[in-house]
Chains A and B, each alone.
Chain A
Amino acid sequence: KAGVTQTPRYLIKTRGQQVTLSCSPISGHRSVSWYQQTPGQGLQFLFEYFSETQRNKGNFPGRFSGRQFSNSRSEMNVSTLELGDSALYLCASSFNVVTEAFFGQGTRLTVV
């Protein structure tokens, strides 16, 4: 059974650009959550999608957005990148959000 796949693994962007990250969950899982990890703030919740609907959103500015497709794959987008957006972005897959979650390898974003 394939795990959670995140692409790309590494990304370097310039301030002001936008970026799109992708997450393919485990087959049969309908919930996809996104987390940001930085040395200063630790792991923080961004948003969660279930059956193409955003059910919950963390305390991040509107520059952070996402969506989920009918096959449960999810994308997150960050517009007008800032230096502080440099982080490891992790995606979690679960059958339902309250059940055991499995994480992908993450996308390491560097904004220069």
Chain B
Amino acid sequence: GIQVEQSPPDLILQEGANSTLRCNFSDSVNNLQWFHQNPWGQLINLFYIPSGTKQNGRLSATTVATERYSLLYISSSQTTDSGVYFCAEFYGQNFVFGPGTRLSVLP
């Protein structure tokens, strides 16, 4: 099946800093989503981005399907951005998730 890698595994930032999270896939990308898991465990949809670039406030994402990777950009980070960020690709009949990037934003 498809393998999903995420980097970096952990990231610590000062409030106001920018960051880039990366997701690599071993197979073709068709239904990629980015999620933020909050401290209470809920997965919050950030982007549904099988290709191209999307922006939502301080967050943006780019997927280059032909090269099998996606990037999530967080600008002017805030403490509320802390949590784990997952990318997932729909493969077969279910989402396959990456291991996540744990982001800690310090005040």
Select from chain A the residue with minimum beta-carbon distance to B48.
A100
> Beyond A100-B33, A105-B42, is A33–B94 a contact (Cβ under 8 Å)?
yes
Contacts of A64 in B (CB 8 A): none
Contact between chains at B31 and A98 (CB < 8 Å): yes
Residues of chain A in range 46-61 having any CB-CB distance to chain B below 8 Å = 48, 55-56, 58
Contact between chains at A88 and B90 (CB < 8 Å): no
Contacts of A97 in B (CB 8 A): 90, 93-94
Shortest B72–chain A CB gap in Å is 16
Residues of chain A in range 21-38 having any CB-CB distance to chain B below 8 Å = 33, 35, 37
Bound Cα distance from A26 to B95, whole angstroms: 18
**A→B interface (CB under 8 Å):** 33, 35, 37, 42-43, 45, 48, 55-56, 58, 88, 90, 92, 97-106, 108
